[in-house]
């Protein structure tokens, strides 16, 4: 008699749950049996599922912990300093792509099969601090000590515990390096204010970024910006006294990029009310919640924003469908909010081509893998779309730069059946990233996402190779996926991350190279902003991300997979471009003797401010009308395609006219803004002493002229504009310290020497980790003539550990 059992439900067989296997067991002599089959039979059915091959040892099984968290939980790794931990995990030590931390805890997402709310108590019982509960996505964000991670994975009904990576913003700090932005004139906002007699009054603009007033190393704080009339608030000398409504400024390590964005909005729409909430609310689900918070009525604790703008993207936001942030954007726009977002700074150009992404219409199984990969990797992607076979993708990485690889494939969240793994191999074929790109995508995360980060330790460029393996039953009988062939895409993020060239730089035979706008930055309901420099109207910034965006599935709206679309949805992104590099009071790069804010992070608030002018000019305008008017009124940039510049550069006058509004005072004169204040740190000249009444001069003696002499180039002088205290006290083994460097010449570049290490190039604002003990920092400036300061500025301090 055949015995058929139901799908096993106990925790021991959690790995089988996503692949129900009917168990058929015939006992000796055809004995009758109930459906209570033995544990051994269940285990064999799970391990020996159809297609199982014992050709090679399977992937290391970390249970429900991601490979990185399993590594972090090891005593030797969790006891190491954060910088060493980052190296072991192949992640950045700080900034985008690094682990998000709360003191000695790391932020992780705990995904439940069901009952996430009920699981909160169990998570607390093992030591976790609850950061965010999202029943919609059956996910709880927690802060946990590395030693507590295995216990999180053993909580009932938990299916995945994954690390949270610090998201990207879209600000750019160029190598060369306060205060009305030049975008006020470039985008004709000043003219629009004069001709239509609008300033954004009656409109509220909400800003989402890292932080608003948390950076103690910044040149100014919010109160100083109010006093100088660069922000509204009590004491603003321009009588703009409605202070910025800060709903959530919880990101203590932020650089106050949100305050810089608010300055831009205030420059173009000084009558608009401003609000801020952090987008760095630990996970993208927290980001989505703060989008709703800005849109909620004031009586409910919100800001009741009419316009919202952000400049953030999380690495795991999906490439091929709208994710939770995009869903939140859609929901607030349906409620009447106009939404603007940065397109991103992820484009990379080489030889006139955009090369920062590569996409194939389907997985091509080469039935082989590079020799350096683990033995269980046997079915790697063939990157060659032609008749040849190529099992790796060459990437040239500049010296001491970081390569960030975001791999995703076209399967919906919660409906992942194929498991792809990513690896980076060195010039000699050695494996540089071990296990970090091997999430259990089918049985654990249910997200088609892998992320790799590798920093070139050499001062010279190196060519490394990316390999992608499809892990099916022969790779991992328990946690592997199927033999699917979904479209897949890898993107080289963070402005190319030092990549200078790639092996495949042209689209060919269905493979597509170039587009890097993704997630809500390319969402259907958001205006996606590319960047164009304040000093030109003819070309976008080379780093400004290119489109289009292609969706294969409906939005990820919860714990159920979205259905595939009838046909792929192609979104033409970006929508428009707007100014970057405009002047502000503290943020960005000290360039041409002014603080300048570069990146699509700066472009987005320019367009949001123009929307505030539009809404005052025509209050009933819907988000669709506002956005369509900006596209219709945009100034064309003929030499570039829509994938780079959208409809063109935002024009505030034309955008208001496109709403059917006529000027009140056509041709009204415009007062130009003042010259930006200096950021170079040059000391003010000492006042001349008072010598009493001025005596009439005596005729000067004129000597005979002498032959001209050539004066040698004077070296620049270097100094510290900001530095930590002489004694920095911390409870941790490593502390982050911020420095700002200055020179008496503009346009210099800096080189830094930390302790006994060699001099290396460093930005004007440098943040790095320092261990317990004494430290010496030296910095010298080099001017455009190549002359370096022969007497570097020097600073000594000590990091002291306290209980």
Tell me, what CATH number does 404's domain have? 2.60.120.380
State what percent of residues in the chain have pLDDT above 90: 63
What pLDDT, on a 0 to 100 scale, did the predictor assign at position 171? 59
Tell me which of 637, 657, 677 is where a domain ends: 657
Residues 192 and 310 in one domain: yes
Are residues 401 and 304 part of one domain? Answer: no
Residue 563 lies in a domain: no
| Residue 598 resides in a domain | yes
Residue 43: band (very low, low, confident or very high) from pLDDT cuts 50, 70, 90: very low
Asked if residue 126 and residue 187 are part of one domain, the reply reads no
Domain boundary pick from 620, 637, 657:
657
Do 266 and 394 fall within a single domain?
A: no
On whether both 309 and 232 belong to a single domain, the answer is: yes
Q: Give the least confident one: 103-107, 303-307, 578-582, 634-638.
A: 103-107
Shared-domain flag, residues 386 and 294: no
Q: Give the pLDDT confidence of 429-441 residue by residue, as tens digits.
A: 999 988 889 999 9
Q: Which pair of structure tokens corresponds to residue 323?
A: 């994710």
Residue 468 lies in a domain: yes
Residues 353 and 489 placed together within one structural domain of the fold: yes
Q: Is 498 helix (H, G, I), strand (E, B) or coil?
A: helix
| Domain match, 488 and 595 both | no
- Residues 193 and 342 placed together within one structural domain of the fold: yes
Task: Collapse the DSSP code of 47 into the 3-class scheme (helix H, G, I; strand E, B; otherwise coil) and give the result.
Answer: helix
**DSSP string covering 375-419:** TT---BB----SSS----EEEEE-TT-EEEEEEEES--TT-----
Average pLDDT value for residue range 500-510: 94
- 580/444 same-domain check: no
Question: Domain containing 106 — which CATH number?
Answer: 3.30.70.80
SS3 339: strand
Name the pairing type of β-strands 139-144 and 129-134.
Answer: antiparallel
3-state SS string for 145-213: CHHHHHHHHCCCCEEEEEECECCEECCECCCCCCCCCCHHHHCCHHHHHHHHCCCCCCCEEEEEECCCC
Does some domain include residue 37?
yes
Taking only the tens place, the pLDDT of each residue in 550-605 is 999 999 999 999 999 999 999 999 999 999 999 999 998 888 778 999 999 999 99
Say how many domains are in the chain: 5
* 799: helix, strand or coil: strand
Residue 65 domain flag? no
Q: Is residue 684 part of a domain?
A: no
Rounded to whole angstroms, the Cα distance separating 289 from 523 reads 17
Task: Check whether residue 251 and residue 340 sit in a common domain.
Answer: yes
In 3D space, the residue among 532, 546, 413 whose CA is nearest the CA of residue 492 turns out to be 546
Q: What is the pLDDT of residue 9?
A: 36
pLDDT band at 33 (very low <50, low <70, confident <90, very high): very low
Query: Is residue 34 predicted with pLDDT exceeding 80?
Result: no
Confidence at residue 495, expressed as pLDDT on a 0 to 100 scale: 65
- Residue 51: pLDDT above 90? no
Distance CA 589, CA 605 (A): 18
- Which residues span the domain enclosing 645? 183-346+571-657
Most confident of 51-65, 493-507, 563-577, 711-725: 563-577
Its sign, for the CA torsion 496, 521, 357, 641, is negative
What pLDDT is attached to residue 798? Answer: 87
- Within the chain, what is the greatest distance between any pair of CA atoms? 130
What's the rounded Cα separation, in Å, for the pair 173 and 165? 21
Residue 118 CB neighbours (<10 A): 11
pLDDT at residue 216 is higher than 90? no
For residue 533, what are its two tokens?
């420099």
pLDDT at 496: 53
- Read off the pLDDT of residues 373-424 as tens digits, 9 standing for 90 and up: 999 999 999 999 999 999 999 999 999 888 999 999 999 999 999 999 999 9
Q: Pick the closest to residue 743 from 735, 751, 753 (CA basis).
A: 751
Same domain, 256 and 280: yes
Most confident among 18-22, 678-682, 786-790 (mean pLDDT):
786-790
Residue 57 is predicted with a pLDDT of: 65
Let me know if residue 153 belongs to a domain: yes
In a domain, 692, yes or no: no
């Amino acid at each position: 008699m055949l015995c058929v059992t139901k799908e096993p439900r106990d925790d021991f067989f959690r790995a089988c749950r996503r692949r129900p296997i009917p168990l058929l067991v015939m006992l000796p002599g055809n004995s009758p049996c109930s459906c209570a089959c033995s544990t051994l039979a269940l285990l064999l059915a799970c391990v020996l599922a159809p297609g199982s091959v014992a050709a090679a040892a399977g992937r290391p099984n970390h249970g429900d912990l991601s490979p990185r968290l399993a590594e972090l939980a090891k005593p030797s790794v969790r006891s190491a300093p954060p910088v060493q931990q980052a190296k072991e995990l192949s992640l950045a030590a700080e900034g985008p792509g690094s682990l998000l931390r709360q003191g000695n805890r790391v932020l992780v997402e705990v995904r439940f099969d069901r009952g996430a709310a009920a699981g909160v108590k169990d998570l607390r019982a093992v030591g976790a601090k609850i950061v965010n509960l999202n029943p919609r996505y059956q996910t709880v964000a927690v802060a946990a000590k590395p030693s507590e991670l295995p216990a999180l994975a053993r909580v009932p009904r938990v299916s995945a515990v994954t690390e949270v990576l610090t998201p990207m913003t879209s600000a750019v700090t160029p190598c060369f390096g306060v205060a009305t932005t030049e975008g006020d004139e470039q985008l004709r906002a000043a003219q629009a204010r004069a001709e239509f007699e609008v300033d954004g009054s009656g409109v509220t603009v909400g800003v989402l970024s890292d932080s608003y007033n948390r950076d103690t190393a910044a040149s100014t704080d919010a109160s100083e910006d109010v006093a100088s009339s660069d922000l509204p608030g009590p004491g603003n000398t321009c009588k703009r006294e409605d202070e910025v409504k800060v709903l959530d400024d919880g990101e203590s390590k932020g650089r106050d990029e949100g305050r810089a964005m608010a300055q831009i909005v205030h420059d173009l729409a000084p009558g608009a009310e401003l609000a801020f909430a952090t987008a760095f609310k630990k996970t993208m689900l927290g980001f989505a919640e703060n989008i709703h918070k800005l849109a909620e009525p004031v009586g409910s604790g919100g800001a009741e924003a009419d316009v919202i703008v952000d400049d953030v993207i999380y690495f795991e936001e999906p490439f091929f469908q709208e994710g939770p942030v995009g869903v939140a954007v859609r929901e607030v726009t349906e409620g009447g909010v106009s939404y603007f977002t940065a397109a991103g700074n992820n484009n990379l150009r080489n030889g006139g081509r955009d090369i920062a992404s590569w996409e194939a219409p389907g997985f091509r199984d080469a039935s082989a893998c590079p020799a350096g990969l683990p033995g269980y990797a046997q079915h790697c992607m063939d990157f060659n779309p032609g008749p040849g076979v190529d099992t790796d993708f060459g990437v040239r990485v500049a010296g001491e730069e970081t390569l960030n690889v975001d791999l995703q494939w076209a399967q919906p969240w919660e409906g992942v059946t194929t498991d792809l793994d990513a690896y980076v191999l060195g010039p000699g074929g050695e494996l540089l990233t071990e296990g970090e790109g091997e999430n259990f995508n089918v049985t654990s995360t249910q997200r088609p996402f892998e992320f790799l980060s590798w920093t070139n330790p050499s001062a010279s460029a190196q060519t490394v190779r990316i390999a992608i393996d499809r892990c099916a039953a022969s790779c991992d009988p328990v946690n592997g996926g199927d033999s699917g062939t979904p479209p897949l895409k890898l993107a080289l993020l963070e402005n190319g991350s030092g990549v200078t060239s790639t092996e495949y730089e042209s689209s060919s035979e269905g493979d597509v190279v170039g587009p890097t706008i993704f997630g809500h930055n390319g969402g259907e309901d958001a205006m996606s902003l590319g960047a164009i420099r304040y000093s030109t109207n003819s070309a976008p910034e080379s780093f400004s991300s290119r489109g289009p965006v292609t969706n294969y599935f409906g939005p990820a709206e919860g714990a159920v997979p979205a259905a595939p679309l009838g046909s792929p949805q192609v979104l033409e992104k970006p929508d428009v471009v707007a100014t970057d590099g405009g002047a502000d009071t503290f943020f960005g790069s000290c360039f041409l003797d002014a603080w300048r804010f570069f990146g699509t992070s700066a472009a987005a608030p320019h367009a949001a401010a123009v929307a505030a002018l539009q809404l005052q000019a025509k209050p009933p305008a819907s988000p669709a009308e506002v956005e369509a008017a900006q596209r219709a009124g945009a100034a064309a940039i003929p030499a570039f395609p829509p994938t780079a510049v959208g409809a063109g550069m935002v024009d505030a006058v034309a955008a208001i006219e496109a709403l059917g509004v006529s000027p009140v005072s056509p041709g009204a004169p415009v007062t130009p803004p003042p010259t930006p204040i200096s950021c170079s740190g040059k000391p003010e000249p000492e006042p001349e002493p008072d010598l009493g009444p001025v005596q009439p001069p005596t005729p000067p003696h004129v000597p005979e002229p002498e032959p001209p002499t050539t004066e040698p180039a004077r070296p620049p002088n270097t100094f510290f504009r900001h530095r930590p205290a002489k004694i920095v006290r911390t409870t941790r083994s490593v502390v982050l310290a911020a420095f700002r460097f200055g020179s008496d010449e503009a346009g210099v570049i800096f080189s830094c020497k930390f302790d006994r290490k060699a001099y290396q190039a460093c930005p004007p604002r440098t943040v790095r980790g320092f261990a317990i003990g004494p430290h010496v920092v030296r910095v010298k400036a080099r001017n455009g003539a190549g002359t370096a300061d022969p007497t570097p500025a020097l600073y000594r301090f000590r990091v002291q550990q306290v209980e």
